[in-house]
A and B are shown apart, each in its own frame.
Chain A
Amino acid sequence: MSARVVIAEDLYLLREGLVHLLQAHGFEVVAAVESGPELLAALTGERPDVAVVDVRLPPTFTDEGLQAALAARRAVPGLPVLVLSQHVEQLYARELLADGTGGIGYLLKDRVFNADQFVDAVHRVAAGGTAMDPEVIAKLMVSTARHEPLAALTPREREVLELMAEGRSNAAISQRLFLSESAVGKHTAGIFTKLGLAPSDDDNRRVLAVLAYLNAARS
C-alpha cells in the first residue's frame, strides 16, 4: 500500500518534476494542484498521507500555501505536511510547529535536488516525524548562541543537537557523523541532561522537545 500524496506547486516544470520523482519512489500522487484554494480543497477532501506544499501560491502569491496547510491542519489535526520554499524563516517554522503534533516538514526547494534525502524527508513526515531544513536549524542555533545551557554543549554535542533538531533518528545521525549508534545515544543523553529535558526514546517526541526548547531559549 503506497502512501497517497497531494502536491501543490504553481510552476509547471517543478510540479511535474515532483510528481515524477515521488511516483518513481513509490508514492501515489492523488492530486497535483497549483493554487491555494485548490490545495485546501484537496487536503480536506482527499485526506492524503502526506502533502508537499509550496509556500508561495496563486492567487495572492504571498504565503497562500502555508496558510492553506495550517488551515488544513486545524481541520485535520496531525495531517502531515512538507512545506517547500525558496527561503526559510524561523517565523514560519514556529507557526508550523506551534500545534506540537508533528508530521511537519519545512525545507528549502534546493533540497529536492538530492532526491534520496528529499524522499527520505517525505517518508519521515508521512510517518508523523519532523524534517527541518538545516538552514532553519543553523539560524536557530545562531540566534540562541548566547543562551547559557546551549553554550555549555561540546562541539560534538552541538552537531548532534543540530541533526536531531532537523528531525533525524539516531541511526541517521550516526551515519552522518560516522559514529556508532551507541555513541550517538550517549551524546543525546548528555544533551538532554545538560538542557534539563526529560529523555525520550521516541524519535518524534524527542525532536519536538528539542525544537520547543530551542524556540523557548530564543525569546
Chain B
Amino acid sequence: MKGMKAVRRYATAALRAALLGLLAVADLFLAAGVLLTALFAFALGMIFLFPSAVRAVRRRTGLARRLSGRWLGREIAPSYLPPPPPVRPQPDGWYRHDRQLYRTPRWPDWHNRWQWMFGDPATWRDTAWLLLNPLAAGLLLLLPLAVTVLGLSLPWLWTPPKLLTLPLGLLLAAAGPAALPRLLSLYGWWNELFLGPTAKSLLASRVHRLNQERLETVDSQAAELRRIERDLHDGAQARLVAIGMTLGAAEALVGSDPAAARALLAKAREASSTALTELRGLVRGIHPPVLAERGLGDAVRALALDSPLKAEVTVDLPVRPEPPVESAAYFAVSELLANAARHGGADRVWIDIGSRGGALRITVTDDGSGGADPAGGSGLRGIERRLSAFDGVLALSSPPGGPTTAVIELPHARGARDPRNAEKMPGWKWVIVGTGWGLAWLPLFPQGLVAMVMKLIEMEDRSWILPLYLPDPWSWLLIVFDIALGTAMYAAAVLLPIQHSRRRWMAEAAPHRLCSDR
C-alpha cells in the first residue's frame, strides 16, 4: 500500500516534470517571437506590437503561476501594477493625454496602457523568466528525465557485459525520479523568484487600494454629513423656529387672553419635546450615547435588548478598542441584527465579541432562513465599506435554509502596528550568523588561503597551519575544504539576515490582517 503510494508520487512528479519541460521547450518559440517583436518594436519603431507581445507573455506567465500553485505547491500571486483607469472626457468633450487633446479616447487609452506595461518592473521580470525558463526547466526537469531514459537504455548502448551495465543503468534510472520531487520544488522556488510579488509591487497595489478606499470613505462621510444637515434643517431647526413663533404669539396674548396664551405655551412645550425626540434619533445615528458611555460590549447588549429577536451576547474584550473602531463595529452589528430580523425570519441570535491575535472579532449567528447575499444587499455592502476603512473584513456564510453566520474582524488599533507582532529572527539563525562572523576567518584565512600561498611558494615553516602537516593530495583537499567552509560561513552570516528582512518587508507591505493571521 505504502509502496503504491510512493510509486504514484514519483510517477506524478515525473509526469508533471515532463509536461512542464515540454511547455518550456515551447517557450523557446515564444521567447524567439518575443525577441523578434521587441526588435521590431524598438529598433524599427513598430511600437504598436509591444502591448500584444506583453499580453502574450503575461498569458504564459499566468499559466505558469496557476501550474505552480496546482502542481508545485507554491501559490504565486501576480505582481502587476493595477491597470490604468479608462480615460474620462474633459468637460468640453475632448480627451487629454499630457498636452495633447484627442477626439476619441483611443489614443490616450493606448498611451496609458503602454506606459502601464512599459513602466511595470513585473513586465521585465516576466520576460526574463520567459527567456530563462527553457534553461531552468531543461536543467531541473528534463535532465533527470533524460538520465532515467539513459539509464534504462544503458545495457543496449554500452558494450561491457550486462552484469555490470544492468545495475549501473538501473541505478541511473532510479536516481532521476528520486531527485524529481526536490527538483520540482526547486523549480517552484525559481518561478517564485521571477514571477512572485516583490515588496515594492505589494506596496504599489496597496497604495492603489488605499487610495480607492479613501475616496469611498470621503464620499460616504460627505453623504453622511449632508444627511445630518438635512435632518437638522428640516427637523429640529424648523421646530425651534415654530416654538419661537408660538412663544411670541403667547407673549402677545398673555395680557388680553390668558387662556389662549396658556394653550399656545402647552403647544410650544409639546413641540420642544418632539424636537428633542428627533435630536435623540439623530444622535443615535451619529454616535450612540451608550457606546460613548459604556463601550462596545454594553452598547451591543443594549442593541440586543432593543431588538425584537432573542439575543444572547457574550463579550470577552481585555482592552477597549479605539473609539472609531468601536463605532464601526457597533454599526456593523446593528445592521446585521436589523437584517436578521427583517429578511432572515430569525427568532434567536447569538453575538460573540472577542479578540483574536490583535484583532477585534465579532460573530453574529442567527437561526433564520439564510440565503443572504453580500452582492445583493446594499446593507451588507455598506458594512463592508465601513469596515474596509479600518482594514476590517466581513465574512458571511448563509446557505439557503440557514443558519446565517457573519464574522467581522477589525484590527484593534488603526495604523500603528504592534511591535510585538513583528517577526523576530529565530535564535538558531542568530547562532549561525554569530558563528559565521566570529569564526569564519579561521578556516578561510590561516587554514585556507595562507596555507595555499605557503604551499605554492613551498615555505618550510609550517607553524600551526594544519594542512601543511598532511601528505600531498590530502593537504590540498583540506585547503579547498577550509576555503569552502569559510566562504560558506560568511555567506550564511550575510544572507540569513537579508533573507529575514526581506520577509519582514513583504509582511509590512501587505495589509495588516494578512500579517496578524500568520
By a beta-carbon cutoff of 8 Å, the part of chain A in contact with chain B is 55-56, 62-63, 86-87, 89-91, 94, 108-110, 113-114, 139, 142-143, 145-146, 218-219
CB distance from A151 to the nearest CB of B (A): 12
Query: Would B293 and A90 count as touching, CB distance under 8 A?
Result: no
Query: Would A146 and B293 count as touching, CB distance under 8 A?
Result: no
List residues of chain A with CB within 8 A of the CB of B312. 219
Query: Would A62 and B310 count as touching, CB distance under 8 A?
Result: no
Interface size class of B (residues with CB under 8 A): 20 to 34
What are 25 A-B pairs with beta-carbon distances under 8 A? Answer: A56-B289, A62-B292, A62-B293, A62-B294, A63-B293, A86-B283, A86-B289, A90-B302, A91-B294, A91-B298, A91-B305, A94-B305, A109-B276, A110-B272, A113-B272, A139-B305, A142-B306, A143-B305, A143-B306, A143-B307, A143-B308, A146-B347, A218-B305, A218-B310, A219-B310
By a beta-carbon cutoff of 8 Å, the part of chain B in contact with chain A is 269, 272-273, 276-277, 280, 283-284, 289-290, 292-294, 298, 301-302, 305-308, 310-312, 347
List residues of chain A with CB within 8 A of the CB of B280. 86-87
Query: Would B293 and A55 count as touching, CB distance under 8 A?
Result: yes
CB distance from B313 to the nearest CB of A (A): 10
CB distance from A117 to the nearest CB of B (A): 12
Q: Provide the bound-state CA to CA distance between A87 and B288, in Å.
A: 10
List residues of chain B with CB within 8 A of the CB of A63. 293-294
Query: Would B293 and A56 count as touching, CB distance under 8 A?
Result: yes
Task: Give the residue name and chain of the A residue nearest to B295 (CB).
Answer: A62
CB distance from B407 to the nearest CB of A (A): 24
Q: Provide the bound-state CA to CA distance between A145 and B307, in Å.
A: 10
CB distance from A62 to the nearest CB of B (A): 4
List residues of chain B with CB within 8 A of the CB of A145. 308
Q: Provide the bound-state CA to CA distance between A207 and B298, in Å.
A: 26
CB distance from A203 to the nearest CB of B (A): 26
Given contacts A62-B294, A86-B280, A91-B301, A113 and B306 within 8 Å (CB-CB): no
Task: Give the residue name and chain of the A residue nearest to B313 (CB).
Answer: A219
List residues of chain A with CB within 8 A of the CB of B292. 62
* Contact with A89, one of B269, B273, B276, B290 (Cβ below 8 angstroms): B290
Query: Would A110 and B276 count as touching, CB distance under 8 A?
Result: yes
List residues of chain A with CB within 8 A of the CB of B283. 86-87
List residues of chain A with CB within 8 A of the CB of B273. 110, 113
List residues of chain B with CB within 8 A of the CB of A91. 290, 294, 298, 301-302, 305
